[in-house]
Structures are given as structure tokens and as C-alpha cells.
Amino acid sequence: MSYPPGTLVVVGTPIGNLGDLSPRASEALAEATVVLCEDTRRTRKLFSAIGVKAPRLVRLDRTNEAEMSSRVVAALAGDERVVLVSDAGMPAVSDPGAEVVRAVAAAGLAVSVVPGPSAAVAAVAVSGIPGDGFTFAGFLARKGAARSEALGRIASSPLTTVIFEAGNRVRATTADLNGVCGPGRVYAWARELTKAHEQVWRGTLGEALAAFERGEVDERGEWVLLVGPKVAKAEPDVGAKEVQDLLKRALATGASRRSAVDEVAGATGIKRRQVYEIALNLGEVVDS
């Protein structure tokens, strides 16, 4: 499929293995007159891989995206064929590009996409953690209130959370997640996906932190962390009649009324206040 001049084409690129570059991505790159990219050296390797001479490569990063947006709109208005890529995966997903896409769309110009590899989706697929709904958190703030708030959201989320992290921070982030979610929370990581040293680990946060502390983990490379959803505590499947019977049985043994309520609450998992109310309905006066 050939894209008409004046179209911004957002192209997904391999996250590690150049063999994952799709035919449509190769075609879009080969037709481009301008390519926006994070690192011109890495993007030049893509053109070498497909045997095409690289066109004009223009660096795009967080520091120059606002300036570049207006230049891209002008280039597209002049019927240039502009392709947007990132160093790996989909542009604008924890990478530069969203501001350019907004500017082009706001100018009434065409934006199209060639889907490609995504570390977040690949990690969910290989982790075994429920992926029918998940939250993508990208890179967490490194410190302060923003980090604390993000960790709190992850701890309480009913969905799997996907996090990008650098190797030099992965141990500290795992420790922070363990602190807010607890050691029993389901956890997985995918390291260096699609590369020679790809590794996927599955377990719990407590087990992961112990593995780091024992020095069993190679912390180099690029990481995707996956935190399982908070599991709601199941309501005890015990009816009021059963609770009444248990209370009567406990009282018949000579237990105090307070002890009977505590015993039944502990045995059934029902909140003490609820057991107390059921006991009142027995016509018993429960010690406070």
C-alpha cells in the first residue's frame, strides 16, 4: 500500500529483532522523503536492513518536538512523504511523537499508521497474567509525590499494570511495588524481548525481590514489568442461619458472648460487626 504525498505515516519498528520489520513498514520507509526519528544512527540501520538508501533523517525528541511539529506540518503541506518512527516499537507510546501527530491532525492533514511491534503488548501476551484489560503506566516518575501516587494507583488497580523500566532502576522499582502491593501480588517481567538474551520471569513480587537480593537476576537491558490486578477478597459464603447455629454452638460450650462472636467471625471470615448483629437477632445481649 502506497501512501499519498502529504501524509504523515506513523510506523512501528522492531523492539530488538530486525526480522520483525513488516513489509508495509519497509515500504513506507522506502517511500519516505523525510523520516523523523529519535536516533539517526539506529534508524539508518533499519534502512541498511531493507537495502534502501536512507532519505533525510531528522532527529525528534522531547526537547524539540514542539518546534518540529510546525516544520512537519509545513513539509506535509508541500507534499513531502514524512514517516515517524521511534528507536523501538510504536512512536508516541512512551516515546516522542504525540505532539507531532496532534499538530498534523489539527492542520487537517492526513495521518496514517503502520502497526508494528509493541513491548507492552508482547510482554502481556507472554506473561500469562490476565490481559483482557490492562493499564499501561509507561515509565514511572523516579521520585516524589508523583511516584507515590503512581504506585498507589497500581496497588489498587483491578487491572494488570504494564510498566517500562531501565535496568539500573528495576530492582528499586520492584522493591517499591512489593512495599505497596504486598509480596503475594502476581508479578512478571520481560527483559530484552525479541533479543538474544530475552528472559521472561513469572511469580510474585516477594519472590522477585528475593531473586534480586540473592543476585540471581541480570539487571542489564530493557525491561517490561507486569503487576497483576488487586484481587478483591471474596465474600464468605455463609448464610445468617449458619452463623446463628455456630453462635448457639459456641455459647453452649460455655464461651462468653464476646468470645462466641470472635470465634465465629474468625472461623467464617465474616466481619465481627456482622456477626454481632446476627447475635443480637438471636435475642442475646452481646458483651461489648
Per-residue confidence (pLDDT) for residue 238, from 0 to 100: 65
Q: What is the CATH number of the domain that holds 102?
A: 3.40.1010.10
What average pLDDT does the segment 94-120 reach? 95
pLDDT band at 147 (very low <50, low <70, confident <90, very high): very high
| Structural domain span for residue 248 | 240-281
d(CA 141, CA 27): 37
Element spanning 175, H or E? helix 170-181
> Which of the pair, 244 or 78, is modelled with greater confidence?
78
Query: 97-111, 123-137, 152-166: which has the minimum mean pLDDT?
Result: 123-137
**Cα 81-109-30 angle, rounded to 5 deg:** 15
What average pLDDT does the segment 122-147 reach? 93
Query: Which of 61, 95, 117 corresponds to the end of one domain?
Result: 117
pLDDT band at 265 (very low <50, low <70, confident <90, very high): confident
Asked if the model's pLDDT at residue 232 lies above 70, the reply is no
Residues 6 or more apart from 157 whose CB is under 8 A from it? 135, 227, 229, 230
**How many domains, the chain?**
3
Within a domain: residue 1?
no
Query: 53-67, 145-159, 240-254: which has the minimum mean pLDDT?
Result: 240-254
If you write DSSP's letter for every residue of 195-233 in order, what string do you get?
Answer: STT-EEEEEEHHHHHHHHHTT-----SEEEEEEPPPPPP
Statement to judge: residues 198 and 132 lie in one domain: yes
Within a domain: residue 130?
yes
d(CA 167, CA 111): 34
Q: At what angle do helices 98-106 and 65-77 cross, to 10 degrees?
A: 40
